[in-house]
Structure formats: C-alpha cells, structure tokens
Amino acid sequence: MNTKSPCIKLSNAVKEFPSGSGVVRALDGIDLDIYPGEFVVINGESGCGKSTLLNMIGCMDSLTEGRIEIFGKDMTDITEKERTAFRRRDVGFIFQQYHLMQELSAYENVEFIAELAKDPLAAEEVLGMVGLSEVEEHRPGQLSGGQQQRVAIARAIVKRPRIILADEPTAALDEASARDVLRIFERLMQKNKEVQDDEKKTTMILVTHNREIARMANRVLVLKKGRVANDAVNEAPCSADMLEW
C-alpha cells in the first residue's frame, strides 16, 4: 500500500451523458487514488470511459455525481475560471490530434504556451529536449506526424506541469515515431527519481488501446463499462526500446 498522500483522488465518480431519451453512464462510481510521480497507463476497449476519466482529472468537464480532489483541493464544483487557471497552471495535455496552430512555427507554438505560464522553461530548451532544434522554424505542415506530436509534447511540458495527461498520443504514429514519443515520456519519468519533493514531481496518466505500452508504466488501470476492472502495480517497468510492436 502506498503511504504517500494522493495528488489525485476520485470518490464514487459518476459521469453521465444524455443519449436519446436516456443517459449513458461513462463513469460508474470510480474510486481511485493516484500518487505524485506515478506513470499510470489506462487500458480498455472503446467506450469504457478512458477519455472521460482523463477529462475529469484535467477539469475539462465536471462530474455528475461524486467527488474529485487534486493536490488536496476539492475540484468537484469549482468555477469555470478556476478550471481554466488549474489547466493553465498545473496540467499539460497531449492528444492524438496535435492541435497545433498551423500558422505558427514549431518554436512559436511552444512559446505561445510558455507565455501563458508562470514559470516556464525556455522554448528552445524544450524543443531541444524533444529533438526538434533543427526544425524549430518549420510550420506544422512542414513536419511529419511524429515531429508534430513532439511539438505537442513540448507545448505540454514547457510550463512545468505537475500533471501530464496523454490521450492516445501514439495511435496515429508509425512504430519509429511512436517509440520516439515514448522515449520522451520515459525521460520525463526518470527525472522524478532526481526530485525529492513530491510537490515537484510530474505525474503522467496515459490512455491507450495499446496494451504493450502499459509495460512502461509503474501502474496499469483497466477500465470496463465505466469501472476500474483491474488496478495493478508493475514492479519492473520496461524501456520504450523493449516494447514489441
């Protein structure tokens, strides 16, 4: 049992969406604690609630019932202004679709996010971290899919987020590009080992259909019909280079 205090805590979390004359229950009473510095992979079939759970943690939407606490603060009924401030300050989002601004260069895409943050890293430094220093003046249309996803990752990490939420970040990539992305995640998680203060560790939650990627995580959740069907600790996470495609 983890003796630390969770940085994310969901209690009886329920999320329902209107569907015709009824409702669909995307999350069905989830109880979940996630701890500082964890790399959590969430697996499950389409429609099981993976992305909905990620959106709740990222305060992109609100619960129908239940409670969510993040960093000790009750986030259940916060205002939209508070949601926006939390996302801007504490969360880095990475999606399957890159959501880059097409008229801006790679550098400008990252710098735009940096300017919104309180204590960002330098855009040049982050682009170097993801291996894009030589193409920082290129616009998204001049980059490959893998390079665009690395720009998206740079945008997520430039503001030093305490939580990184990644929704199918490798689904649209070929094997080589997917490994490049996963190596970046691996390096980010390795940096946690150098940090003593839990408040400064980065917690990563990654949603994927690819069960192989779960081998990298130190914890794997499997969702089924809006519930946690399995919650397992991985005692020996492997490297991105060891994954089999």
Mean pLDDT per 10-residue segment, the chain (245 residues): 85 94 94 97 94 96 96 94 93 91 96 91 94 96 95 94 95 91 93 88 94 95 96 94 89
Is the Cβ–Cβ distance between 132 and 124 less than 8 Å? no
Check residue 2 and give its pLDDT: 65
Give dist(CA 193, CA 15) in Å, integer. Answer: 35
For the record, the structure tokens of 53 come out as: 């759970």
Pair type for strands 219-224 and 39-43: parallel
pTM for this model (two decimals): 0.94
Kindly give, in sequence order, each residue whose CB lies less than 8 Å from that of residue 129, ignoring residues fewer than 6 positions away.
154, 157, 184, 187
Structure letter (DSSP) for residue 236 = S
Residue ranges per structural domain of the chain: 8-242
Helices (H), 74-174: 80-90, 106-114, 123-129, 145-157
Is the Cβ–Cβ distance between 204 and 185 less than 8 Å? yes
Give dist(CA 121, CA 11) in Å, integer. Answer: 34
Cα 174 → chain centroid: 20
What 3-state class would DSSP assign to 232? Answer: strand
Between the two ends of the chain, the Cα-to-Cα distance in Å is 33
Cα 145 → chain centroid: 19
Alpha-carbon dihedral sign for residues 32, 99, 148, 201: negative
Alpha-carbon dihedral sign for residues 100, 75, 1, 160: positive
Q: Which residue(s) pair with 68 in the sheet?
A: 10
Give dist(CA 211, CA 41) in Å, integer. Answer: 9
Architecture of the domain whose range is 8-242: 3-Layer(aba) Sandwich (3.40)
Secondary-structure percent of the chain, ordered helix, strand, coil, rounded to 5: 35, 25, 40
Is the Cβ–Cβ distance between 205 and 57 less than 8 Å? yes
Pair type for strands 73-74 and 227-233: unpaired
Give dist(CA 78, CA 188) in Å, integer. Answer: 30
